[in-house]
Chain A
């Protein structure tokens, strides 16, 4: 049993690695494929960890510090694992003037998470995005990939609550 589980874990690991390898191969392992490859890593692993950065650096022959410099320059990349659930808050101008500060405040009050962080129990990650283009829904929030909008802070907190509770 244990062996089978291990094997299965190994094969997912391989599968993920294959996806990253495919991206690099598509670009001929050229050093300029760094950002494309990091996108691929983040897509399959959820974040960029040191092992992955090492691997990419070696495969694309890009210096470690440069890989790190690029990975930290772009805010889309994250070096930390994300929580089980994500709440992305749009901070575009339209959303801002329609009450983003109050929303961030309410989340901080209820879950003690700042934008860009994950709650201590690993349940909730709060992220911000520079305009998701749903200005008509301002203030817009993306809960586990679903865009919702025109929410009062209280309603949002409720929605987050039920989102987290659902898998308990």
Chain B
């Protein structure tokens, strides 16, 4: 495809869009689909056909609108009205009302903190693009950034934009993306690879899935730009097999892009070649660790290996490899379009831009949000999140999944950035944010995460393999009331060993949920140990006499 054809395609689609008087956008990301939004969309289509509104009404299946708690969601005429909790039988009413007053009983106000306090960069367009149409993406300047980079910038210049943006890895570690890219760019190997890490394994995180389901082309475009910058001609997306919808849409998107020469050889008539293949994960959290992920793509057991050498020097098939997370790639197109400086003007001094979070747990507005770095946890939980479920009291918010920690009320005013979260024993992580109320026991929460780490440990290194199992046993003892202070001390000691001597990030951070709950909720541990009492009433504690015998 030449540039002219490319421009023309976008124009055509835009014109086509303008013909429509109305638009009905139904969210077809997984959460809404699980509430039958795909069937609702079908009913609306039938209804439109019946009323012969096909030429004036555009119906699209779009990506995540964020407020999953109120799903299925439907957006009428680009935000004119937003319908929530829609059911199949509402289709007729919705279509009938299209030229008239909106259906009041389904209407949700868009002028609420949940919507107006967010800032969408990575998720920009996610609820405004047909999830399965390349043309629709092109109509909104899709692949424009790739074209500009390929034709107007040298790899070095494009890299400078990423460096200037201050973007840091969104998978959790927060490593400067520009630095990573430049390391791969200067590496000298026969071949280079770009890998998109979509092995979103944190329990309670669904940002990557939502992004891939909503606007897969944006990720492909970001990867292609990365390929151009670092000099790679092959990309892989490593995605969890548990995300069938995202896989389906990605496969579809790759095929579309290949057909239109947006992937493949001589992309858009330039000398640049870049292909993308999908590799499925198979249920191993540790494969989110980059060396384990590489092993998995190579068809091996997903065991990490010691670093250095880092994948940038020696990665997939021992070639220089760039690995970034989905959200990191999602930020590339906006950075290329608006410039690194624009991106760097958002956020805090060390954490630039925005961050996508998956809000879940005991919170009213469960769903997906994107906020500028530096916003306080309190604003996220109580303002955007709408606060705690009726009748319950806030206890903690858990960030960073099994590698993170629980943050209590007293730290809620802390700004969200990489450094602050680490100082209090949690971490940014990939963006799962679980709100915990007073009906949960923090020792039980720690046990949940240790159960997770224990079963996800690959078993290669001893401290993680045995240490996580030992810690889990002790937590089991504490929660059933058979532990003494001696066990508690052993637990703290094990945390220290596992943290300092484990081979990879999984082990090194496995103790964080325990350490942070000990730090902020020590009295809950002591209550289980001394008084054989679970303050939240969650743990089934044995009677005194049973313990002794």
Task: List residues of A whose CB falls within 8 A of some B CB.
Answer: 30-36, 38-39, 62, 66, 69-70, 73-77, 91-94, 96-98, 129-138, 140, 147-149
If A97-B361, A129-B242 touch, does A135 touch B279 (CB 8 Å cutoff)? no
A92-B203 CB under 8 A given contacts A97-B440, A149-B34: yes
Let me know if B297 is at the binding interface, CB within 8 A. Answer: yes
A-B contacts besides A93-B398, A136-B360, 14 pairs, CB < 8 Å: A31-B299, A76-B281, A76-B283, A77-B283, A93-B203, A94-B434, A96-B448, A97-B434, A131-B205, A133-B30, A134-B30, A136-B69, A138-B366, A140-B34
Question: 6 closest pairs, A vs B, by CB?
Answer: A74-B282, A76-B283, A135-B360, A147-B34, A133-B206, A93-B204
Question: A70-B301, A92-B204, A136-B360 in contact; A130/B283 too (CB < 8 A)?
Answer: yes
Taking the complex as formed, is B436 at the interface, i.e. its CB lies under 8 A from any CB of chain A? yes
* Smallest CB separation, A2 vs chain B (Å): 38
Are A35's CB and B203's CB within 8 A? no
Taken residue by residue from 289 to 311, chain B's Cβ proximity to chain A (1 for < 8 Å, 0 otherwise) reads as 00000001111111000000000
Chain B residues numbered 185-236 whose CB sits less than 8 Å from any CB in chain A: 201-206, 209-210
- Which residues 504-548 of B sit at the A interface, judged by CB distance below 8 A? none
The interface residues of chain A lying within 8 Å CB-to-CB of B35 are: 137
Q: Which residues of A contact B452 (CB under 8 A)?
A: 130
B282 touches A75 (CB 8 A): yes
Contact of B203 among A69, A130, A148 (CB under 8 A): A130
B31 CB within 8 Å of chain A: yes
Q: Please give the distance in Å from B364's CB to the nearest CB on chain A.
A: 11
- Which chain A residue has the least Cβ–Cβ distance from B440? A97
Q: Which of B210, B285, B367 contacts A130 (CB 8 A)?
A: B285
- The count of A-to-B residue pairs whose CB atoms sit within 8 angstroms is 128
List 27 A–B pairs whose Cβ atoms lie within 8 Å, in order of A's numbering: A33-B299, A69-B301, A70-B300, A74-B282, A74-B284, A75-B283, A75-B455, A92-B203, A93-B432, A93-B434, A93-B448, A93-B449, A94-B204, A94-B366, A97-B436, A97-B440, A129-B242, A130-B283, A131-B205, A131-B206, A132-B242, A134-B31, A135-B31, A135-B358, A136-B69, A136-B367, A138-B366
- Point out the residue from B71, B284, B300, B434 that lies within 8 Å of A75, measured CB to CB: B284
B284 neighbours in A (Cβ, 8 Å) = 73-75
Residues of chain A with a CB closer than 8 A to B299's CB: 30-36, 62, 70
User: Interface readout for B272-285 with A: 1 if CB under 8 Å, 0 if not?
Assistant: 00000001111111
Residues of A within 8 A of B201 (CB): 130-131
A residues near B398, Cβ cutoff 8 Å: 93
Q: Which partner residue on chain A sits nearest B316 by CB separation? A: A32
Chain A's nearest CB lies how many Å from the CB of B420? Answer: 21
Interchain nearest-CB distance for B34 vs A (Å): 4
Q: Is B458 an interface residue (CB 8 A)?
A: yes
B residues neighboring A (CB under 8 Å)? 30-31, 34-35, 68-69, 71, 201-206, 209-210, 241-243, 279-285, 296-302, 358, 360-362, 366-367, 398, 401, 432, 434, 436, 440, 445, 448-449, 452, 455, 458
Residues in B with CB closer than 8 Å to A77 are 282-283
Known A93-B204, A97-B440, A133-B243: A74·B302 in contact at CB below 8 Å: yes
Residues of A contacting B71 in the complex (Cβ-Cβ under 8 angstroms): 136
A residues near B458, Cβ cutoff 8 Å? 73
A135 and B366 within 8 A (CB): yes
- Whether A97 and B242, one on each chain, are in contact in the complex, defined by CB atoms closer than 8 angstroms, is no
Report the minimal beta-carbon distance from A93 to chain B, rounded to whole angstroms. Answer: 4
Collect the chain B residues with CB atoms within 8 Å of residue A140's CB: 34
Inter-chain contacts of A30 with B (CB < 8 A): 299
Report the Cα distance A136→B440, complex, angstroms: 18
- B241-A76 in contact (CB<8A): yes
> How far does the alpha carbon of A94 sit from the alpha carbon of B296 in the complex, in Å?
28
Cβ-defined contact, B360 with A93, below 8 A: yes
Contacts of B358 in A (CB 8 A): 135
A51–B428 Cα distance when bound, in Å, is 45
Contacts of A149 in B (CB 8 A): 34
Kindly list chain B residues whose C-beta atoms are within 8 Å of the C-beta of A75: 282-284, 455
Report chain A residues within 8 Å CB of B34.
134, 137, 140, 147-149
Q: Are A76 and B242 in contact (CB under 8 A)?
A: yes
Give the docked Cα–Cα distance between A92 and B448 (Å): 10
Nearest-Cβ distance from residue A30 to partner chain B, whole angstroms:
8
Q: With both chains docked as a complex, state the minimum distance between the C-beta of A141 and any C-beta of chain B, in angstroms.
A: 11
Q: Which residues of A contact B296 (CB under 8 A)?
A: 35
A150 to chain B, nearest CB (A): 10
Q: For residue A128, give the distance in angstroms from its CB to the closest CB of chain B.
A: 10
CB <8 Å contact, A93 and B362: no
- With A32-B299, A69-B301 in contact, do A39 and B68 touch (Cβ < 8 Å)? no
Considering the chains assembled together, what is the distance between the CA atoms of A36 and B360 in angstroms?
32
